[in-house]
Each structure stands twice: as structure tokens, then as C-alpha cells.
Amino acid sequence: MQVRRNHRILILIFLVVLSAELYFSLQTPYLDNSGYLVERYTQNVLETGKPLFYDTLSYNGREVLYSPLWHYVLAIFGLVFGSFAFKLVPALVSSSIVLVVYLLSKKIVDNDELALFIALMSGFIPVVFVDSLISASVYSLAIPLMFYLIYLFMDLNEKNVGIFLTLSFFLSLLHPVSILFSLGLMVYYLLSLSENMKIPTLNLEVMAFTFVSTFLIQFLIYKKAFLEYGFSVIWHNVPSQILWSYFDFDIFGMLYRVGALTLIFGLIGIIWGIIKRKDRIMLLCGFALATLILLWLRLLEPRIGMMFLSVALVVASAFTLNLFLNYLGKTKLPHYRLSFIMIVLGLIISSLAVPSFVLASKHIKEDVPSGYELLVLRWIRENALPDVTIVAPLGKGHIMTALAGKRTVLDDNFLLAPETSERYGDIERLYSTKSEVEALEIIAKYNIDYVFIPIETELEYGKVKWTDDESCFRGIFFGTPKVYQVIC
């Protein structure tokens, strides 16, 4: 009976999280910049059945490297749900994190109520919650999958080893973040070695398998990038001007996006787990440490690192909360126990849910194209010649290619893109220069036909003066954004 009740509550939590995600994501019919990239690649799968490996629009035409598995998953759902799949599938798989975290927490503390509470917490981690709304992000699947693998790893036996191997292979195929999984296992191994704790042989063997298969698959998929950049592939060919800010880690932002109390409870859980030599906590610690090391070395985008770190911390906080509840039971405050617990739990939830909702509202308002922007882009799609090139700032590249259907000079899909630093520098100069001669030089260099000036750019660099020359630039739209056609 108790089990059934817990399962019902768990399903309810899952539905609450799913509803919350869909509530926000369906407030806008649009996607964000990265979402449009996913949409375009998925559309290609739907139209041709094949992944897009030569993108004629990005960077005026360039080769692209990625694993198309996620796009195939979306395409399958897209056949049934159409464009709604880009909102539904990420929300669905992202919400499943509550199920995975429930299983993990139960394994760590063996307390059903607490596990359910931790599951609820995991559904509202701000950084994870926001990512699955309008980005059609692959991480919405990669995160639950990775933590499910951790769950399987905790209790590995002859029966589930096959499932582990299959899913681990699937994760490697899905996204390079599987490297983080392998590294996490490696750190766990080292930690156990240092603590003189014995890891079962089967676990060691699957660790080896995970490491080897991840390495092979990443090499197969990203062979060209490895050949082109060698070890520098870890910097993803990010333009040198933004390399450091791209990987910049903001500790205060982390407090807000991960949840301050989650961070505190999670860290206490991990430290306490290590002191008490708890094997399962040690495993989580391995992942948290691997993520932190990658973040510290600036090898992982902070946003992505924080997503994985926050889930690990939420699971680890189960250990702290369990200790806390046990301690309360031993104190002379049994009468106040319930209210005390409610306050603490309320605080935790509000430290997660409130930032989640605030960030989500902001995200769906600010990161999608505005109505006017959409009008402009539709006009370009319908009226400009098919092979024209539009220049837009870095953050608008995928929106341009997806909605206007025209070539762009630059976007944030840097891997294998040509001369990213040079292009980034040129585009910055184009928007900031006062000299028409300099602007025309850049325009000629990239065969630019239309100049797209969003409000953000004008706020950053001020008014773009050289567009005033009517003999060279014909104004098409003068609101926000402005669009000029190059006519000279």
C-alpha cells in the first residue's frame, strides 16, 4: 500500500513538474537561438531522412559536426506532434529527472518521504528547469540518462549490466557530455582508491567499458575536429575574443541558478559522505568533482556544468537532510519537529522554485524573437533573393538562418566553422565603427546583402552611423530591429 502511495505521489510530482515546464514553454510559440538550430537540423531529418552535415546557411556554408541522435528522437515525435515536439519532448524527458532522482535518493537514504521530497526539489532546479523550455536542448535527455546510469552503477549485477552497457553506449552517441560521465567514474575510482575502498570487479569492468566506448565514439563523430584542432578541440574553436568569458564561471550566478540551500546541503552531504566513507555518496562526489575540475579548467561551459552539478548536489543533499531529520528526532523538540521540518523544506523549495519561475519568465520573454523581429525576418524570407547573406550579431545567428532562411556570417556553432575569431572581430567592428569605408570593406569581404541591427546591438555600440548613407544602404525596417539592404 505504502509503495503504491509513494508511486502515486511520485507520478503527481512528475506531472506537476511537467505541467510547470509546459506552462512556461507554451507561453510563446517560438524557440530561442539554440532551439532554432536544433529545429533546423531536425527539419532536415524529417525532410530528407538524413542529418545535415553541410550547412549552406551557417557561415555562408560550412561543414558541421554533431551527433544527430537527438534530432532523430525529435524527428520521430515531430512526425506525430509537429513543432509541438520541440516543447513536449524536452519537457517530458527533462521531467523524468524526478523519477531518476527518486530512485537515487532512495538508494542513498532509504527514506521514501525524503526521496519524494528530493525528487520534487530536482524538478525545480532553476538551471535545469529553464534549459528544457524553449531550447529543445539535448541536455534535457542527457541529464536524466546520466543519472539513471549512476543509479544502475550503484547496484550493478549480472541482470542489469546489459542495460547499463546499452544506455552508456546510447549516452556516448547522444552527446559528448558522456565524457563527463566517464571522467566522473574515473574520479570516483581515484577517490575510492585513496580511501582504500574496494570497488566490485563488475563495476570496474563497466567503468572501463564506458571510458573506452565514450572515447571511441567521440573520436568517430568528431574525427575531423580532432584532426583540425588536435588537443585544442577542447576549446571548441570559440573565438579568442570571447574564449574566457565563454567559459567564465560566476559563483554568485551559480548560487542563484543552482539554489543556495541546495548548494549548501549538497556540499555538506558530499563532505559528510566522504568522511563517513559512503560509497554511493563517493560516486556522486566523483561526478561533482569531475564537473568542478572541468569548470575550473574552463573546459566546460558553466551553464552545462552547473546543470549536472546541481542535480548531483540535490541528490547528495538527501544524505544531509536525512542526517538532519535523524538528529531532530533525538532532540527535545519532538513537538515542533513537523513545523520545523516544514519551514526548512519550504525554504528549500522556495530557493529553487522561485528562481526557476523568475528565470523561466525572463527567458521566454527575452530570448525569443519579438513580434516585430519575426515580421522583419518573414519579410526577408519572402522578399529577399534566396542566396543573399545577412549579417547579425553572434546571438542571433540561428534565428536568422531558421526564420529568414538566409545565409549568415556568424553563429555560435563554432566547431569547424571558418575563421571564427576573425569573423567575430569583423562583425564587432562592423557594428561599432563610425567609418563607412571600414564597414564597406567588411561587407565586401563577406558578401553581405542585408544588415540586421537588433536593439541589443544598438544599446551596446550606439547608433550605427554608416547606414545613414542612402546611396549605399536602403533602409527597409526602422524599428527594433532595423534592417538595411546594401545597394552599392
Partner 1 sequence: MRAASEEYSLEHQKYIKLFAKISIFILALVFLLLPGILREDEQVIGDKPYYHLTREGEFSGVGPGWNFLLKYFPMNILLPIIGLLSAFFIFLNLKMLKLEERLLITGFFVISPAFVYLFSVGERFGISFLFTLIACYFLLDKKYLFAGISVVFVSLFDIWIGVFVATIMLLYFLFKYNKGKIFYSLIIVFFLLTIILGDFNPGIISDLGAKVGSSVFAILFVAFSFLFFWNRKKFISLYAIAGLLFLFSLKVEFGIFYFSLFLSILVGLCFFELLRIRWESKLVRDLILLIFVCGLLFSGLSYTNRISKDKPDDVFFNALNRLPDGAVVFSDMGYGNWITYGGKKNVWHSFMSREEAEIISKDLSIVLESKDYAKTTEVFEKYQVDYILLDSELKQKWHESELVYLLKYDSEGFRFLFEENGIEVWRFFR
The region of 51-59, 118-126, 207-215, 302-310 touching partner 1 under the rule CB under 8 A is: 207-215
The C-alpha atoms of residue 467 and residue 258 are separated, in whole angstroms, by 44
Is residue 205 a contact point for partner 1 (CB under 8 A)?
yes
Cα pseudo-dihedral 241, 243, 246, 248, rounded to 10: -110
DSSP string, 64-113: -----HHHHHHHHHHHHHGGGHHHHHHHHHHHTHHHHHHHHHHHHH--HH
CB of 208 to partner 1, least distance (A): 6
Closer to partner 1 by CB, 49 or 230: give it: 230
CB of 279 to partner 1, least distance (A): 17
Is residue 193 a contact point for partner 1 (CB under 8 A)?
no
Contact (CB, 8 A) for 258 and 124: no
Closer to partner 1 by CB, 216 or 297: give it: 216
CB of 223 to partner 1, least distance (A): 6
Determine which residue in the list 11, 12, 197, 220 makes contact with partner 1, applying CB under 8 A. 220
Give Cα separations from 412 to 58, 59, 162, 417 (angstroms): 10, 10, 38, 9
Is residue 229 a contact point for partner 1 (CB under 8 A)?
yes
The C-alpha atoms of residue 54 and residue 66 are separated, in whole angstroms, by 11
Contact (CB, 8 A) for 210 and 202: no
CB of 217 to partner 1, least distance (A): 9
Determine which residue in the list 1, 3, 80, 227 makes contact with partner 1, applying CB under 8 A. 227
The region of 9-17, 67-75, 115-123, 205-213 touching partner 1 under the rule CB under 8 A is: 205-213
Closer to partner 1 by CB, 28 or 160: give it: 160
The C-alpha atoms of residue 49 and residue 134 are separated, in whole angstroms, by 24
β-pairing, 450-453 with 407-408? unpaired
β-pairing, 482-486 with 473-478? antiparallel
Is residue 340 a contact point for partner 1 (CB under 8 A)?
no
CB of 425 to partner 1, least distance (A): 13
Biggest alpha carbon–alpha carbon distance for the chain:
84
CB of 222 to partner 1, least distance (A): 11
The C-alpha atoms of residue 313 and residue 143 are separated, in whole angstroms, by 13
Helix (H, G, I), strand (E, B) or coil at 278: coil
Is residue 76 a contact point for partner 1 (CB under 8 A)?
no
Closer to partner 1 by CB, 61 or 462: give it: 61
Determine which residue in the list 72, 84, 170, 215 makes contact with partner 1, applying CB under 8 A. 215
Closer to partner 1 by CB, 113 or 422: give it: 422
Is residue 211 a contact point for partner 1 (CB under 8 A)?
yes
The region of 11-19, 198-206, 252-260, 265-273 touching partner 1 under the rule CB under 8 A is: 198-206
Please state whether 462 falls in left (phi above 0), alpha (psi between -120 and 50) or beta.
Answer: left
Closest CA to 121 of 265, 232, 8: 265
Contact (CB, 8 A) for 153 and 283: yes
Closer to partner 1 by CB, 162 or 386: give it: 162
Determine which residue in the list 223, 276, 463, 465 makes contact with partner 1, applying CB under 8 A. 223
Q: In b/e form, how buried is each residue of 453-470, taking b as 16+ CB within 10 angstroms? A: bbeebeeebeebebbeee
CB of 285 to partner 1, least distance (A): 21
Query: What mask, x for binding partner 1 by CB under 8 A, covers residues 170 to 189?
Result: --------------------
Please state whether 137 falls in left (phi above 0), alpha (psi between -120 and 50) or beta.
Answer: beta
Query: What mask, x for binding partner 1 by CB under 8 A, covers residues 31 to 70?
Result: ----------------------------------------
The C-alpha atoms of residue 16 and residue 197 are separated, in whole angstroms, by 40
- Residue 198 has φ and ψ, to the nearest 5°, of -90, 130
Is residue 235 a contact point for partner 1 (CB under 8 A)?
no
The region of 85-93, 199-207, 281-289, 435-443 touching partner 1 under the rule CB under 8 A is: 199-207
Closer to partner 1 by CB, 165 or 345: give it: 165
Is residue 161 a contact point for partner 1 (CB under 8 A)?
yes
Sites of contact with partner 1 (CB under 8 A): 158, 161-162, 165, 200-202, 205-206, 208-209, 211-213, 215-216, 219-220, 223, 226-231
